[in-house]
């Protein structure tokens, strides 16, 4: 690639720019450059691609980018990570997560596009995420949160008929004496901050940026780079 900067800081800037420009191919190519130059892969991620993720989030928050751009930015980051992950595993590089999240769409609800985007974005900014998928039973949320030693349980619902399941998870946590162990956040079109307060959740993510910002605040990582999803 003749247009790859030689200087390290310029290379990191180019990596960030590939995410901002939503260019999956360029992001993957620059990730490979990082491998070829035997760079510190934690720095490649944090000083390069995550900076781009943060910028996409800022553009979304300012109204310059919309949901499609948010998704494409995440896809560019994922393309870079697909190149880097095998080397990270081979080198056994420890990248300590900023928190652990178990997330899913509650039982009776098969809508998971928004939830999947949340999971992707949380993972992108440094959370360890276990995505349980859709139509998830109350017991499974709790069992996986215990197994993964989660900090946060994220419960999505797109239907007014299923959002009551979010309350059931919280009620069951209380019943088992586990409520103080996990933070619980809720999301989905019919939810609101009022609903979250009513059922005793720790917060509600009304949109992309606020969902991940909320998760970060709950684990005390509010100064981390961020791109969020609703």
Q: For tokens 């260019």, name the residue.
A: 23
155 forms beta bridges with 104, 186
Question: Cα 221 from chain centroid?
Answer: 13
Q: What is the pLDDT of residue 218?
A: 95
Residues 61, 90 contacting (CB under 8 angstroms)? no
Task: Tell me the average confidence (pLDDT) per consecutive run of 10 residues in the chain, 230 residues long.
Answer: 79 96 96 94 87 86 87 88 85 78 94 77 83 96 97 94 96 97 94 96 81 90 40
156 forms beta bridges with 105, 187
The class (CATH top level) of 8-91 is mainly alpha
Residue length of the chain:
230
- Give the predicted TM-score (pTM) of the model: 0.68
Residue burial 47-56, b: 16+ Cβ < 10 Å; e: rest: bbbbbbbbbb
- List the domain boundaries for the chain: 8-91, 99-218
Q: Which listed CATH number (3.40.50.280, 3.40.50.300, 3.50.30.30, 3.30.565.10) goes with 99-218? A: 3.40.50.280
Q: What is the pLDDT of residue 119?
A: 83
Q: What is the pLDDT of residue 93?
A: 63
Q: What is the pLDDT of residue 120?
A: 75
């Amino acid at each position: 690639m003749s247009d790859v900067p030689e200087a390290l800081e310029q290379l990191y800037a180019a990596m960030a720019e590939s995410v901002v420009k939503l260019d999956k191919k360029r992001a993957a190519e620059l990730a490979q450059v990082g491998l070829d130059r035997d760079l510190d892969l934690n720095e490649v991620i944090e000083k390069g691609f995550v900076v781009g993720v943060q910028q996409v989030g800022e553009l979304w928050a300012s109204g310059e980018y919309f949901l499609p751009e948010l998704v494409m930015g995440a896809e560019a980051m994922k393309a870079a990570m697909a190149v880097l992950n095998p080397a990270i595993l081979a080198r056994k590089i420890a990248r300590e997560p900023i928190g652990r999240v178990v997330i899913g769409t509650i039982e009776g609800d098969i809508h998971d596009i928004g939830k999947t985007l949340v999971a992707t974005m949380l993972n992108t900014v440094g959370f360890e995420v276990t995505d349980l998928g859709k139509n998830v039973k109350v017991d499974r949320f709790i069992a996986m949160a215990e197994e993964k030693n989660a900090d946060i349980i994220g419960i999505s619902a797109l239907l007014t008929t299923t959002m009551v399941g979010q309350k059931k998870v919280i009620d069951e946590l209380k019943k088992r004496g586990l409520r103080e162990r996990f933070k619980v956040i809720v999301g989905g079109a019919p939810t609101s901050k009022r609903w979250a307060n009513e059922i005793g959740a720790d917060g509600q993510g009304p949109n992309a940026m606020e969902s991940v910002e909320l998760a970060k605040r709950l684990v005390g990582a509010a100064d981390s780079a961020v791109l969020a999803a609703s």
